[in-house]
Amino acid sequence: MNQLEALKQFTTVVADTGDFNQIAAYTPQDATTNPSLILKAVQKPEYAHLLHEVVARHGAEGLDETMNRLLVRFGGEILKIIPGRVSTEVDARLSFDTEATVSRARRIIDLYQGEGVHVDRVLIKIASTWEGIQAAERLERDGIHTNLTLLFSFSQAVACGQAKVQLISPFVGRIYDWYKKNAGATWDEAAMAGANDPGVKSVRAIYNFYKKHGIATEVMGASFRNLGQITALAGCDLLTISPDLLSQLAASDAPLTRALGADATKAMDIPFVQYDEAAFRFALNEDAMATEKLAEGIRAFVADTIKLEAMMK
């Protein structure tokens, strides 16, 4: 049994890509996309025709609608390959606008349903700002399920749990990147690997808090830099993994054992926490890493969305 097969015993494996031709080989349950992954895909010859077709059919409907159509086109192709759900992201420029996020999410779902896709097969990805979390809470009440992304802090995870969102995506690799950059020459890669990796520790803390207190929101580790981060989170509800790392897992026969489990949280002393808006904003502000990475992530997704729009024009 290779490591990918072993991992699937404990964790739902999700493919993190817009390159749907790569997905079938790894038989993931779900798949996630974002503007950066879609931008990367449409620049490949095998996907360029999708952009051209969408623009030809819907270009006169405005950039927002054309973008929605492109995202749904990719999502629809992915859903032909996987048995589970696809995550489709709302425009990151709406990250601080609850009403606009709700409206855009509903439009995306309408388009999927127009293609015959059931609402339960789509997760709407929304940045884990206070406004985004409030939008997700409203959507969940309406039966539209959400994936709260760009999540870097415990406070964001707590607020998402309170909002009863379907799933969160803590960004393991970007947390690791921040701590490594800040440490500079003092960073000890070996000492900070595996269970000691700051990104891994963040996800473990969130997972344990959710399981200890019966919070149903699914935890999906994301944004991995190496196999050690993945294997250290074996047992997490879901892990979304790039094709390159899926390939490495499939090529490895090294032993892999469960690292996380809900039963182990029963004996843990983990106090219950909850936030109102002011407490959430203060807690997030106190976390320099999360504050910086959230802002940086929104800017990066916006930049790639603008590049996609330029290609549409």
Catalytic residue numbers read: 125
Place of tokens 């884990």: 128
DSSP 8-state class, residue 104: H
Name the CA radius of gyration of the chain, rounded.
Answer: 19
Contact (Cβ atoms closer than 8 angstroms) between residue 191 and residue 228:
no
Alpha-carbon distance of 76 to 36, in angstroms, equals 18
Which amino acid is residue 301, in one-letter code? F
Q: Other C-beta atoms within 10 Å of 35: how many?
A: 24
Alpha-carbon distance of 69 to 62, in angstroms, equals 11
For 122, the 3-state DSSP assignment is strand
Nearest to 84 by CA among 262, 244, 238, 243: 238
| Token duo for residue 50 | 């999708």
DSSP letter for each residue of 59-105 = GGG-HHHHHHHHHHHHHHHHHTT-SS-EEEEPPGGGTT-HHHHHHHH
| Token duo for residue 223 | 């944004």
